Chains A and B, each alone.
Chain A
Amino acid sequence: MQFSSQLLESAVNAFAQLPGIGKKTALRLVLHLLKQENSQVEQFSETIASMRKNIRFCSMCFNISDTEICSICSNPSRKKEMICVVETIRDVIAIESTQQFNGVYHVLGGVISPLDGVGPDQLKIESLHNRVKTIPAEELIFALSPTIQGDTTIYYIQKKLQQDKLKITTIARGISFGGELEYADEMTLARSLQNRQPLEHYVSR
């Protein structure tokens, strides 16, 4: 792409660095910004800059927060004894939108995968360890993806925390809600049969 202005070009390149945005889309966005008032664009860039500068990670659970302790951890009505361990912040948002969980979270920041160069040290495992020691946690719920890496992470953490008297659970794995049985893959279906539920549990929800 040929540009008549150096400024334009670097702005386009900056936008094109964002995920899912190519050169043409970047150009469209930049040209849109060019049409706007100076003050408006200034406010736009200000918002982004201040977001990056001021945002913090909760020192307890490593969720995104505006304060030292995030709104979930500081909420007095939330059960601090129940900790849900997730991979990323996106998982927190997903679980929060179910409105079914009234405990607190712990964001690991990834799962163990030596292949991708992610070891236990790169994750917030040590701080989880300290956390369950200082606050008398009762239950640790693992909400990680059912992959080899997810399982490895669960086993690893479980081993680390073995000595503590702690109930460790994982979210259920099986047929998705509203899914049709005939389209479920054999492995999921087999697993669902193995871990079938007594009916009273099913109905009470």
Chain B
Amino acid sequence: MLHLEHISLTQFRNYDKVSFGFPGRITAFCGPNGVGKTNILDAIYYLCFTRSYSGRTDSSSVRIDSAGFRIDGRWNRDGQHHSTVCILRESGKKEFQVDNESITRFSGHIGHYPAVMITPDDIELISGSSEERRRFIDTLLSQLYREYLEHLIRYGKLLTERNSLLKRMSEGVMNDSGLLDVLDEQLINHGNAIFLFRKNFSAEFISGTSQYYQNISGGNEKISISYRSVLTEHSFEQVLKTNRSKDLALQRTSSGVHRDDLEIFLGEFPFKMVASQGQRKSLLFALKLAEFETLKAMKGFSPLLLLDDIFEKLDEQRMMNLLHWVCEKNEGQVFLTDTHQERIRSIMNKFKIEYQLIILE
């Protein structure tokens, strides 16, 4: 059981100095636009991942006319008290302390305090290019299997080498198909490993996602998701061989696991083409909740759930379905934000769950 009990922010974003205690499992932040609801969620994200969710640089998270910031969090994990502190010094140097000890490798901290954040911007995952979905799967799989990350890094490096060689070959320098063979062999090795990881993982992940989507949408929409890879039908070796002349003309590797995608259909049409905003948002939740479930199974306890502006674009029924899962079925700590306190109040009262409402002005 992971619980954030207290957080204090100093010179972070729009806050000069502020602190909040979170005695309960569910905390809702309410307030008008621009008051800093998302900033609090992002501060919590900082404590878990040592960086911002939005991809903003550390220095741009400092309050205007101030130098440096500090985010101080106190946790309770299985009855043990812990603290994580993120400090950006005036010099621009970032420090991260866990239980009052500075850590040197930030990447080593990630995963100890797991969290899943969902913001309106994440809709790119659904409507964006396949790259977004690959990154989503890759991030998750790398957390589960270190080996996968290793294959992924090596595959990426080999791919740039191969593309660079293709380019030089078409320019007439370095005309050596033997070298291309060698690069291909290594690429095939890593590509096959990546494909296997993704295939095995997506089988379970997809059924989880579909299930969540049914739950949120009420079960009347037929959605199908499939992992699409060129390796499903052909061996990578064959793919590279048949595409070689094309690759030489294009000067890049036209086919491989770096072009994989999750294909989503609503009924018989591509989801991206026909889905409404609310449906997209529902699918986004379904994907993220499946991620949540995967992390939970791996860690043995529930990650934090950070939900930014969740009610936007969802209809009443979907909202209820979603909250039913988030607040009743889920056991982990939840933070959510909304602009209407009345809306939050009335929904929470329907569920008869204890929650804390923090009103920001």
A interface: dominant SS: helix
* B154/A121 in contact, CB under 8 A: no
* A159/B158 in contact, CB under 8 A: no
Q: Which residue of A115, A121, A151, A186 is within 8 Å of B160 (Cβ)?
A: A115
* A187/B150 in contact, CB under 8 A: yes
Asked if A112 lies at the interface with its beta carbon under 8 angstroms from chain B, I say: yes
* A114/B150 in contact, CB under 8 A: no
Total A-B residue contacts, Cβ distance less than 8 Å:
52
Q: Which of B4-12, B135-143, B177-185, B260-268 lies at the interface with chain A?
A: B177-185
Q: Which residue of A115, A159, A187 is within 8 Å of B161 (Cβ)?
A: A115
Q: Which residue of A114, A148, A160 is within 8 Å of B174 (Cβ)?
A: A114
* A119/B176 in contact, CB under 8 A: yes
Q: Which residue of B146, B164, B178, B186 is within 8 Å of A114 (Cβ)?
A: B164
Q: Which residue of A113, A117, A156, A187 is within 8 Å of B182 (Cβ)?
A: A156
Asked if A152 lies at the interface with its beta carbon under 8 angstroms from chain B, I say: yes
- List A149-196 residues whose CB lies under 8 Å from chain B: 149, 151-152, 155-156, 159-160, 186-187
User: How far is the CB of B275 from the nearest CB of chain A, in Å?
Assistant: 41
**A160–B173 CA distance with the chains assembled, in angstroms:** 19
Residues of B within 8 A of A117 (CB): 168
**Contact flags B27-46 to A (C-beta < 8 A → 1, else 0):** 00000000000000000000
* B160/A155 in contact, CB under 8 A: no
Asked if A103 lies at the interface with its beta carbon under 8 angstroms from chain B, I say: no
Asked if A109 lies at the interface with its beta carbon under 8 angstroms from chain B, I say: no
User: How far is the CB of B244 from the nearest CB of chain A, in Å?
Assistant: 15
- List A112-167 residues whose CB lies under 8 Å from chain B: 112-115, 117, 119-121, 148-149, 151-152, 155-156, 159-160
B interface: dominant SS: helix
User: How far is the CB of A146 from the nearest CB of chain B, in Å?
Assistant: 11
| Chain A residue at minimal CB-CB distance from B174 | A119
Q: Which residue of B146, B150, B161, B181 is within 8 Å of A149 (Cβ)?
A: B161
Residues of A within 8 A of B146 (CB): 186-187
Asked if B157 lies at the interface with its beta carbon under 8 angstroms from chain A, I say: yes
User: How far is the CB of A192 from the nearest CB of chain B, in Å?
Assistant: 15
* B165/A159 in contact, CB under 8 A: no
Known: A114-B161, A152-B182, A159-B178. A119 touches B150 (CB 8 A): no
* A114/B168 in contact, CB under 8 A: yes
User: How far is the CB of A144 from the nearest CB of chain B, in Å?
Assistant: 14
* B186/A152 in contact, CB under 8 A: yes
| Chain B residue at minimal CB-CB distance from A151 | B186
User: How far is the CB of A142 from the nearest CB of chain B, in Å?
Assistant: 14
* A119/B168 in contact, CB under 8 A: yes
Q: Which residue of B157, B164, B173, B179 is within 8 Å of A156 (Cβ)?
A: B179
* B164/A115 in contact, CB under 8 A: yes
Starting from the known contacts A114-B162, A159-B178, 9 additional A-B residue pairs (CB-CB under 8 Å) come to: A112-B179, A115-B161, A115-B164, A148-B154, A148-B157, A148-B158, A151-B186, A155-B182, A156-B178
Q: List residues of A whose CB falls within 8 A of some B CB.
A: 112-115, 117, 119-121, 148-149, 151-152, 155-156, 159-160, 186-187
Q: List residues of B whose CB falls within 8 A of some A CB.
A: 146, 150, 154, 157-158, 160-162, 164-165, 167-168, 173-174, 176, 178-179, 181-183, 185-186
